[in-house]
Amino acid sequence: MMDTLTYLCRCVCWNIPKIDDYKRFANAPIANGSTIFPLEAAPEKMLLPTISWKFRGQPKQAPLPDLLAQTGTTACIVLQHGQVRYEAYFNGYQRTSVNTSFSVAKSMTSALVGIAIAEGAIHSVDDPVARYLPAFDQQGFRQITLSHLLQMCSGLDYREGVFPWTDDARVYYGLRLRDQALKARLKEEPGTVYHYNNYNLLLLGMVLEKTTGQQVPAYFSEKIWQPMGAEASASWSMDSRRSGFAKMESGFNALAIDFARFGQLCLQNGQLNGRSIIPADWMQESTSRPVHTADTTTYLSRMTPPLCKWAGSPHGYYKYLWWGYQTDPHNFDYFALGVKGQLIYISPRKQAVIVRFGKKWGQIDWWPEALKQIADSLT
């Protein structure tokens, strides 16, 4: 009863998710290490491009700083060849300000799954979830694999929206997320329909806990945050102090410059100073365009707006918790994307990482198109 009242209070008093919600949730610390990976200023600052975009279908155009200032942006950073070519903060934010990730955290979770597989804690993405979570050892649920969770085609029922009784609200504001995930119902045949679903992330978090013997924030600190040379400590918001489970779908909080460092690590295929932090083959597999089997063709073609505008297009796709864009027959860009327009955009063809975080999405239909224009402008 007390949990229900607290949940309803969160829904009513906190209302729609905000970028300072990490101040309200309990947080698990993510310690950085003793060595900071340097991000030096490039000898030449980038020529700031004029960006063309659409809002509600209507074309607009403005210099990059104007677009950023007008859309609730808090931070924008452009790295190329591991050097800072542009770094600016807006709307009261500074380099030392904490930004929350929202669904950018999903792509960070993808990296942890790849590490756990490389270490042998997880056997394969083709394993059924039931191998690790016995509650899934039942009719229908036995078909769900880790790959299905990673590709958002688990078949589990999920209702989006911000009202108290939607699954979005239950996951974002819930106090016992492990229990909530195990209550998910099966709606569709696993592997047949793309359905963006935050229960998938909770289940991956539970698998990581069981297989590594660590809570996810501690595992992330040990395997990624410290070895990649983060500038500052970070945190991962929890469902509650009593439950102590990381909000896998949204709760990573850090400096924008450290999100950029994570992006740089991914751009380098998880390698840093001769050390493999994230397996290179996992980075390639998790970000590259999926093979169009009958399964992937089905679930990509049945996406609902606005997602189909990107991933259902001839050039866009969704892989292991990363979004991708095929720029030509031989190259692709990929990105981590969160509500409010939180983005880590990675362009191997330009050897660039572009970070945009904000208080709101702003008057722009699709941020990745704007960030792709920034990448295209780099020489």
State yes or no: pLDDT of 258 exceeds 70: yes
State yes or no: pLDDT of 116 exceeds 60: yes
Total count of residues recorded for the chain: 379
Q: Please state, rounded to an integer, the average pLDDT across all residues of the chain.
A: 92
pLDDT tens digits along 171-213: 999 999 999 999 999 999 999 888 999 999 999 999 999 999 9
Q: Looking at 123-251, which runs of residues are DSSP E strands?
A: 234-237
DSSP 315: S
State yes or no: pLDDT of 289 exceeds 60: yes
Residue bearing the bigger pLDDT, 308 or 373: 373
CB 203 within 8 A of CB 248: no
Give the whole-angstrom CA distance, residue 62 versus residue 72. Answer: 15
CB 323 within 8 A of CB 296: no
User: Which CATH number do you get for residue 291?
Assistant: 3.40.710.10
Strands 27-30 and 58-63: unpaired
State yes or no: pLDDT of 165 exceeds 90: no
Q: Report pLDDT for 314.
A: 67
| Distances from the Cα of 30 to the Cα of 34, 216, 235, angstroms | 13, 10, 5
Average pLDDT over residues 50-78: 96
pLDDT tens digits along 14-54: 989 999 999 999 999 999 999 999 999 999 889 999 999 99
> How many domains is the chain partitioned into structurally?
1
Q: Which token pair is 61?
A: 């155009």
Q: Report pLDDT for 303.
A: 35
Task: Choose among 216, 171, 175, 218: nearest CA to 197.
Answer: 171
CB 201 within 8 A of CB 248: yes
* Confidence bin at 305 (pLDDT 50/70/90): very low
Q: Report pLDDT for 262.
A: 98
In our burial notation (b when 16+ CB lie closer than 10 A, e otherwise), range 286-303 reads: bbbbbeeeebbebbbeeb
* Confidence bin at 273 (pLDDT 50/70/90): very high
Alpha-carbon radius of gyration of the chain: 20
State yes or no: pLDDT of 298 exceeds 60: no
Task: Find the domain containing 275 and state its range.
Answer: 2-237+246-377
What is the reported pTM? Answer: 0.94
Q: Report pLDDT for 291.
A: 67
